[in-house]
Chain A
Amino acid sequence: MPEETKDPTPVLPQSSAPTNPQPGKAGDAGASASPSVTPAAAGNSEASAPTSTAPAAKSEAAAKPAEPAKPATPAATGEKPAAPAAAKPVAKPAAKPEGPKPEPWDSTLVSRLRSQYGSGIAEASTYLGQKYLVLDSTILYEILLHMRNDELFDYCVDITAVHYPKREAQFEIIYVLYSFHHNDRVRIKAQIKDGDHVPTAVGIWETANWLEREVYDMFGIVFDGHPDLKRILMPDGWKGHPLRKDYPILQQDQEWVKINLGIESGQ
């Protein structure tokens, strides 16, 4: 299997583009599915293309002859040798989204919320059978309170966040709620800007205490009114918030090495 054989050191900032982490290395069993199709196609001999991902490879092969003419498109692999670089953009379109789309979620719960909060509910959808609401962050606290008290979502499963550095509202904060009464799960999401504060949910669910501390620790999102907002997993004096996408993985390590061992880098 691929995961044992390859050393995963090329740690690109992963948000930049969906690049394969080991592009140049041949003979990789895992990566062979898509890249191995492409050299054959670039040489215009798609008849012998291995049928690894049958339907996808076919449609990709059909669209191929036009591709090698403009190899300027590759996003992240600018300095790579010519052959894989040309192969790259061909491989990509086949693998891009083919999955299901979020569907609108209609239920009495949503219409109740809509009638009460109006445009504050930006989106109510289901994806792969899982329901979620996207809210305006200003009404986050009211909705959470409403969800617990009136809709009986009494168990706050998880609070977490995702960092999207390219968006204007960089963070998406996510509450996973569960109702013992309905045996149902809903995700509540709100987008917030870097530096914006979020009202704490500790008053609604006690469990939010540590979960919010972890979000604060990992993302630097501040929860207003939290009784004890400080780092939980990282040491108190830690710099930066590790799960932000722009957090450099090696920097901390190198700094430590420099200070404690007096050498340039431990890597």
Chain B
Amino acid sequence: MSERTDYLDLDTKDETFLDANEIVLNMGPQHPSTHGVLRVILKLDGEKVLGTECIIGYLHRGVEKIGENRTYAMFNPYVDRMDYVASVSNGLGYCEAVEKLLNAEAPPRAQYIRVILTELCRIASHQVWLGTHALDIGALTPLFYCFRDREEILKIFEKYCGARLTTHSFRIGGCTYEAYDGFEQDCNKFCTAFLPKLDEYEELLTTNRIWVRRTKGVGILNPEDCIALGVTGPVLRAAGVKWDLRKAQPYEAYKNFDFEIPTGLNGDTYDRYLVRIEEMRQSVRIIRQAVDGLPQGPIMAKVPKVIKPAVGEIYHSIEAPKGELGYFIVSDGSTQPYRVRVRPPSFVNLQALDKMVRGLLIADVVAVIGTLDIVLGEVDR
């Protein structure tokens, strides 16, 4: 461990402690609160964090290299395995990027189905975040509540495409599956049942004294730092920047729906919690509008069976539950992408960890990792 200490430079000098020795503590990769296989090396003075370094890559599967060796359609299921708690969003981003490259667009009905599923997925992703985040901080009950209610979403996915987690629910050009009989009713039923449940979560946490003490003022990230670090998603919005790609550069059918972008004030862990809770409410709003306005018509655009985009390149990004998820695809006119680059929100957001935890306690590191909402499958790809 000693050879690593040289690049943990110390910005914050300790004024309070006497002559405490600095120690280096290894956290992870197998640690319940690192949400996977993240390894964080902490440089500590007593319990105070002086600096961190993240070691990542334990889940690296070479997704981008795989993409270069598969056809466009073959690569589609792989992207679901990056952010596996929000697999629908991954698939949406990829399909849209390829569609853009083909200069095609999914028909309206497919776009609405995509929006419904993606927003359901956003709720599911936030539920996993809330459950595990609260668990890390010591509140056990929200985990059970969240996973119980997430089950309803997974049931809808299962009825729609047969898969619960890595759904591969979209195809380049639209959707493979028509909405099943009772899809609309199921979605509406979920929305109606979910809103009171969301209030229940809030009852447990929002005014809970322990929760507030553990999250308020912890891991503050101001808007300037967020932008400099490229942090997006709820973390950016909690810092007060009203920016959401669904509004800023609307894709799919998002311009047809009426919804708000919740923002925070202080950019601390508590605000990020409130922002994500409110985002779930807004997602319910979008789902209801999309179900009501679900148009009739085809679900696949006319794209060739063998996908061979013209020579060129495209960058397309969507607002995934964790932030801006971008795909940069270079086509050389063949059936396989020449290069697929994934711009993962978790990877970029995780970089902010060091800035957020300096000067805090070890227990706060756990809270901050939770509030960043990282999925290591996406960080490492």
List residues of A whose CB falls within 8 A of some B CB. 1-3, 6, 8, 11, 14-15, 17-21, 29-34, 52-53, 95-100, 102, 127-128, 130, 154-158, 160, 162-163, 174, 176, 180, 183, 185, 187, 205-207, 209-211, 214, 218, 228, 231-235, 242-243, 247, 249
Contact = CB atoms under 8 A, between A and B. Distances in A.
Contacts of A249: 65, 69
A233 B304 contact: no
Interface residues of B, number: 61
A97 B338 contact: no
Given A8-B71, A15-B338, A218-B64, 12 more contacts: A18-B336, A29-B305, A33-B304, A128-B101, A128-B312, A157-B315, A157-B324, A157-B343, A206-B228, A214-B347, A232-B56, A233-B381
Contacts of B332: 15, 18
A233 B57 contact: yes
Given A95-B306, A206-B228, A20 B335 contact: yes
B325 to A, nearest CB: 11
Nearest to A214: B347
B76 A3 contact: yes
B10 interface: no
Contacts of B305: 2, 29-30, 32-33, 52
Given A20-B335, A242-B62, A183 B248 contact: yes
A127 B313 contact: yes
A31 B305 CA distance: 8
Interface of B: 7, 56-57, 60, 62, 64-65, 68-71, 73-74, 76-77, 100-103, 171, 176, 225, 227-231, 241, 243, 248-249, 304-306, 308-315, 317, 324, 326, 328, 330, 332-336, 338-339, 341, 343, 347-348, 351, 380-381
A98 B310 contact: yes
A128 B100 contact: yes
A108 B192 CA distance: 51
B91 to A, nearest CB: 13
A162 B314 contact: no
Contacts of B68: 14, 243
B212 to A, nearest CB: 30
A247 B64 CA distance: 13
Contacts of B304: 33, 53
By Cβ-Cβ distance, the 9 closest A-B pairs, closest first, are: A99-B310, A18-B334, A207-B230, A233-B57, A33-B305, A3-B74, A97-B310, A158-B343, A160-B341
